A and B are shown apart, each in its own frame.
With several copies, the nearest count.
Chain A
Amino acid sequence: MNLSPQTQLEMQRRMLRIRRFDERASKMVKRGQIPGTVHTSIGQEAQVVGACMALGEGDYMTGNHRSHGHPIGKGSPLGPLMAELVGKATGVCGGKGGSLHLADFSVGSLGESGIVGSSIPIATGAALSSKVLDNGHVSLAFFGDGAANQGCLYEAMNLAGVWKLPIVFLCENNQYALSTPAHTVTSGVIADRAAGFGMPGVRVEDGQDVLAVYDAVHTAVRRARRGEGPSLVEVITYRYNEHSEGLKLGTDYRDQAERAQWVERDPIVVFRQRLVDDGVATAEQLDALEAEVIEEVDEAVQFTNDSPFPDPSVAFKDLYTEPIGALA
């Protein structure tokens, strides 16, 4: 795969946007500046960005509780995302969604789901409309290794298979579902499940390599775009932080040495080195890129702070498209 320097720099920028945004969100939730909980994608940026960059602008995407990375990876502006996490009126969902329910339809992000597995059918439906309307859009469903044991995934894979829907099922295998190691609750290999449902299944063993992820997903997206149907891509990766931050539900029982090994292969550090080695950018250029991203995150926080909370009456809006009784 020969990617333009521009594209490669954009990958690094998006990974940084996720990293810095989530680091900030993590701090804010611990300080009580974000209510509820957040699930960060720190450590998984290559997997998220490699997948998102393989999609076109008009393409659709759904995600899960580990939610910020997906819209950021798809190019969503940070201000309304951060404002949403805090519950401000300027949030991307007007403050109604919060961290677990980000959606930015302007970039094809059809919604993150707090219910594990539950958004996979939605992405399948978006692929169905692309097919019926013949508009060339591809769908991608992000879900975790934990979600890979929800039955709806297999219903979706089968349906997409028989109807040759343009969809990529993307399993973010960060090897844990909350406290539970994937290998203790997964019989067989996730990627291998594709074959029984009549579609290619690939496993990206090095999910910390953004280009490896991009390659695998790009192949799947092209196949979908050609009308040949769905694919399953499983990406092995790792989250650095707690499963969920802010709630103080149990702590993590992962081995700290295991974590340290993964941190050593940090996707952003690795790719930065590669960009320098390949002569795509200089260290100074990459520092500047990083500074830009930090500023963007600062601005998002500023935007959030400057924004009002929604009026209480907003709770009664948006349930239906037209008023039903006092509800609008």
Chain B
Amino acid sequence: MTVMSYLGAIGAAQREAMEADPSVVIIGEDVEANVYGTTGGGKSRSDKGDFLQMFGSNRIRNTPISEEVIVGAAAGAAMTGLRPIVDLSYSSFLYMAMDQFVNQVAKNRYMFGGQASMPVVFRSAMFYGLNTGAHHSDRPYPMFMNVPGLKIVVPATPYDAKGLLRTAVDSDDPVLTFEACILWGTKGEVPEEEYRIPLGEARTVRRGDDATVVAISSAVPAAIAAAESLAEDGISVEVIDPRTLVPFDTEAVIRSVQRTGRLVVADPAHRTCSAAAEISAMVAEEAFESLRAPIVRVTTPDTQIPFSPSLEKQLYPSGPRITEAIRRVIGQPTSMPSHGARDMDQLATQAPR
């Protein structure tokens, strides 16, 4: 085992994948200069240009700012013999290439009756929680979940980030990974040897009996904090990190809810049509008989992301908001001051009430 940061783990996975297979290439803006820290050898930001030296400019493809053709070209290259890893830097830029994602990447194999395969990985980082305002803070994975044909990965730890990225590169289908910048610095143990984590296998982060929390991306550490604080009150919370949203490990969630009878879903995406909505709907259909309380979603309210530090942080699922939600589902009196978590969840929807 060795200790790595989340960002370092991504760099290491990229390096291993590049070393393992000459048809793997990296395509993206500023990848040559290692601006985002994942094309420098997986060590530190100061390893500028390592990948360029190691793999050459034929395989490290520094692009113009042209997301639409970057995504489409990666798809076309994947259909004809390469296995590109595309670095789209921030997730907010994916919309620029939405047509390519939906109409080409997701559809080509199906439309052409299986003639195409599309081994391509699109990496992007969600920059929320860092005071950069509405244009850099998006968490758009729910949109892509609504597009059949894509696989969607949302790692929350260095171990998962590395293992899932290796699997993504191995996959013959298109994979989108949504990384959380706020986790970039998180450190964790990672095996020295190569390993893969299958897509579609949730990780039970913490066992518990009184309620299940399914937490996504940066909501995972928040859920752990909530579980720890409730443990002090003798409340035992199970925390599940699905790790991939498509495919989704329904069984792990259902099994847990069958045991606990209570579900909270913590999801940093906007509330309406979020991953949390899907998970809730799934359980309301398939584990209804086990449910002993309403399913509560802790999400980002349906508002855009404001810049001011006095406005932004409150919006994302936090330890206290998740704690509050768990107390609600287990029927405990809440302890939040007004204008706290409860209010946030009341404000959290575009539905008139």
User: Which A residues have a C-beta under 8 Å from some C-beta of B?
Assistant: 35-37, 60, 62, 84, 87-88, 91-101, 103-105, 110-111, 113-133, 135, 137, 139, 146-147, 149-152, 155-156, 158-159, 162-163, 177-180, 184-186, 249-250, 253, 309-322, 324-327
Residues from chain A with a CB closer than 8 A to the CB of B304 are: 319
11 A-B pairs, CB-CB below 8 angstroms? Answer: A95-B306, A96-B308, A96-B311, A118-B103, A123-B76, A133-B23, A146-B64, A310-B311, A312-B310, A321-B109, A324-B247
Within 8 A of A (CB), among B259-303: 301-303
User: Contact partner of B173 among A101, A118, A322, CB < 8 A?
Assistant: A322
CB distance from B115 to the nearest CB of A (A): 4
Contact A115 B103 (CB under 8 A): yes
Closest 10 CB pairs between A and B?
A121-B72, A125-B76, A98-B307, A114-B135, A87-B308, A94-B113, A250-B35, A179-B33, A95-B308, A125-B73
Chain B stretch 86-145: residues in CB contact (< 8 A) with chain A? 92-93, 96, 99-100, 103-104, 108-117, 130-136
Which residues of chain A have C-beta atoms less than 8 A from B3's C-beta? none
A129 in complex: contacting residue of B34, B66, B77, B108, CB < 8 Å: B77
Q: How far is the CA of A159 from the CA of B70 in the complex (A)?
A: 9
Which residue of A is nearest B40, CB measured?
A250
9-residue interface stretch from B24-32, B202-210, B219-227, B322-330: B24-32
User: Which residues on the A side are within 8 Å of B339 (C-beta)?
Assistant: 312-313
Q: Is the CB of A125 within 8 A of B132?
A: no
Q: Which chain B residue has the least Cβ–Cβ distance from A37?
A: B132
Q: Which of A88, A101, A103 has the most CB of B within 10 A?
A: A101
Instruction: Judge if B314 is at the interface, Cβ distance under 8 Å.
Output: yes
Please report B residues at the A interface, Cβ cutoff 8 Å.
23, 25, 29-30, 32-37, 45, 48, 58-59, 61-82, 92-93, 96, 99-100, 103-104, 108-117, 130-136, 148-149, 151, 171-173, 200, 246-247, 301-304, 306-312, 314-315, 339, 346-347, 349-353
- Tell which of B62, B108, B311, B346 has the most Cβ of chain A within 10 Å: B311
> B309 to A87, Cβ gap below 8 A?
yes
- Asked if residues B80 and A60 are in contact (CB atoms below 8 Å), the reply is yes
The interface residues of chain B lying within 8 Å CB-to-CB of A87 are 131, 307-311
Distance in angstroms between the alpha carbons of A104 and B116 in the assembled complex: 10
Tell whether, in the assembled complex, residue A309 and residue B99 are in contact, meaning their CB atoms are under 8 Å apart: no
Our pick among A129, A137, A159, A327 for the contact of B64 (Cβ within 8 Å) is A159
